[in-house]
Structure 1
Amino acid sequence: MATLRLDREEARRIAVRAQLLDAQRPDGLLETVRHLTLLQIDPTAAVAPSADLIAWSRLGPAYRPEQLRQGLEQDRTLWECNAMVRPMDDLRLYRADMSAVPRSDKAREWLRANETFRRDVLDRLGSSGPLLSRDIPDTSVVAWPSTGWTNNRNVTKLLEILLLRGEVAVTGRRGKQRVWDLAERVYPADQAEAPPEAEARWLRAERRLRSLGIQRANAPGSPAEPGEVGEAGQEAVVEGIPGTWRVDPAAVGQPFGGRTVLLSPFDRLVHDRVRLQELFGFEYVLEMYKPKGQRRWGYFALPILHGDALVGKLDAVADRKAGTFTVHAVHEDVPFTPAVAEAVHQEIQELAAWQQLRVVR
């Protein structure tokens, strides 16, 4: 196929449309997650839990956090693994990978040494589950060695390995704590046959590109979600940016209508900081890990999207006990026109109202 030639405006609009952030909102949560392929879970809720904030930014006030819990815990249309919520339809695309877990020599040796521990945990869940990790006895023979927070957290480490192997599953949550059960009692038994590993990886890359619109072939990702899309889609070059891209050909030349959106710092539109700078010319760093005096934009600043441009950051915090949504600052990367300022103001009001909070400036 011929190499596509795009200007930056079209490239940005492809990325925004692909992430369901244009004027045409999706119909519901399941449709949204199926298209995006994932919602990232993060414990930080300075404004709202990240998965909820990402869903709200697509669906607006029609979205309620109860819908996410219902999809995960009752309807079983969604599943949680490795801090990601994914559509249950995609579980079959991970089955082949699950059979190869654990991949590291250290984890394989630890699991072999703790085979009786593994059987104890599965038997306990089978007879008494669902359970919190703290309700499962630690019968490990060899402790998990680590200098970090996982050191000697043997039950949690084993459960997370068994989760990646498809032997146990997260069946729900009590507060922020995961509730565990046997996978056979959580995942549907009538799923379509899992494709071989190579085919599954190709299908995941195609779906990843469709959700991002435009991406570098070997873009960086995270252990939970690779960034590369390989040879999926069609090769493209973007005016003024060196190198080649892969683009979803179905996304090229489509009409665009924009809107104003407040984004989670973990939103897929902004997660790849290099891509963010190249396509949008937008500098962003999540500053929650920096000392207060070194922050430019705030603890959990939300990128502000207006149309196909990222125009600033919102420094705000939600205090649910006090019933307030405090706006510390709206940082303008470019001077806002009156229309942009009004659109941002309205979006702040809607985000606060969605959480039943009043705005304090």
Structure 2
Amino acid sequence: MTHVLTREDARRIAVRAQLLDANRPSDVVGVAEQLGAIKIDPTATIAPAELTILWSRIGSSFESLQLTKAVEMDHQLFEFDGAFRPLSLLPLMRPAMRRWPTRESSRRWLKANAVFRGEVLARLRAEGPLTASEIPDTAEVSIPPDGWYGSNQVVHMLDFLQRQGEVAVVGREGRTRRWDLAERVYPTDLPEYSDEEAEHLLNERRLHAAGIAKQKSPWTPVGEAGEPAVVEGLKQKYRVDPEAVAALDHDDGGRVALLNPYDGMLFDRPRLKELFEFDYVLEQFKPKPQRRFGYFAHPILMGDRFVGMLDAKVDRTAERLVINAVHEFLSFDEEETEMLRAEVDDLAAWLGVDLGEW
């Protein structure tokens, strides 16, 4: 069956799948189960990504300790490749871990550093959990610093070993990761899947989190998951979660949401442009004269449309949320202004700071 959707229907499906509709969730683990990944990033003009992503869904009742508890105490979430993920995804990811690395340069680096690899694992086995700085760098071959990574090869080795399922992040000391052997962090009774089974189930999970995605999207690969869909006015072939289509008749409506620039809702840029007519560009790495909206401006979602950008920053010295600018794509009416103000008020309350002048 091929579903024929209006662009508005497609947007509503995407918004609801990302838990940005009027029906707010209340549970950190439940949010992670639905989204599949909660990006970790330290840029904190307002708050780090992993916290604002959860606040955008749950609201001011969310506390950062809830995330810490889910990861480090209850072990319902785990950190992998720069994101917190639900434990239910780990069995589906393990076949790809066993195949990694697929890039020849990574294989050569691991082969050249076989002794170093063994020493890192031995140190963790004897003394873990450890931070990267507590493990000697004895690499025979180095990867040069690239702006993201420094010269410490232990960081590279730990990341490589994580991708192979050999080590895992057990927790954090501030922004610093603590590592241990994966066998001491992950459960030992996880189900096993073949490569084909795991890929099929991962595609279904990705589509469930997206609601609707292009069939051949490198941004949101969903393969043959779900059912085919046509969006009126668009030529692209989509796949849609049939449960999301059925839920359109029970839509609770929209709300205002302020999205961290690393929010998963913004990840698939082509889909944003096609469905939402929102050509989003992160200006964090642009020279200041080339920025239109601000260094780390947060997109404003109102219902199923992106209507503007919020350029704001927390002044911790003054304990105040400073609103530098609200960029309106189209002028807000009085009701829309009040809806936005209420969400910004909630943001300030969650941050525990006063709200500065608009």
Taking structure 1 as the reference length, the TM-score comes to 0.95
1:41 and 1:51 in contact (8 A); partners too: yes
Distance 1:67 1:143 in 2: 39
SS across alignment from 2:19: coil
SS across alignment from 1:230: coil
Q: State which of 212, 215, 218 in structure 2 corresponds to 1:217.
A: 215
Distance 1:102 1:61 in 2: 41
1:234 aligns with 2:227: yes
Matched with 1:349 is 345
Aligned residue type for 1:220 = P
Q: Which moved more, 1:140-149 or 1:94-103?
A: 140-149
Matched with 1:244 is 237
Distance 2:224 2:151 in 1: 42
Q: Which moved more, 1:108-117 or 1:119-128?
A: 108-117
Q: State which of 192, 195, 198 in structure 2 corresponds to 1:197.
A: 195
Matched with 1:338 is 334
1:254 aligns with 2:269: no
1:1-361 to 2 correspondences below 5 Å: 2-145=1-144, 149-150=148-149, 152-191=151-190, 193-221=191-219, 227-252=220-245, 253-256=248-251, 257-361=253-357
Aligned residue type for 1:242 = K
Distance 1:157 1:265 in 2: 26
1:167 and 1:183 in contact (8 A); partners too: yes
Give per-residue Cα distances to partners, 1:264-286, cap 9 Å, x unaligned: 11222222222111111123211
1:212 and 1:268 in contact (8 A); partners too: no
2:207 and 2:225 in contact (8 A); partners too: yes
2:128 and 2:179 in contact (8 A); partners too: yes
Aligned residue type for 1:155 = V
Distance 1:76 1:254 in 2: 36
Residues 228 and 354 of structure 1, relative CA distance in 2, 3 Å threshold: same
Aligned residue type for 1:239 = E
Shift of 1:144: 2.9
Structure 2, unmatched stretches of 5+, are none
Give per-residue Cα distances to partners, 1:160-212, cap 9 Å, x unaligned: 10011111111111111111111111111222x22111211111110110111
Root mean square deviation of aligned Cα:
1.4
1:263 and 1:304 in contact (8 A); partners too: yes
Shift of 1:143: 2.4
1:220 and 1:228 in contact (8 A); partners too: yes
Structure 1, unmatched stretches of 5+, are 222-226
Taking structure 2 as the reference length, the TM-score comes to 0.95
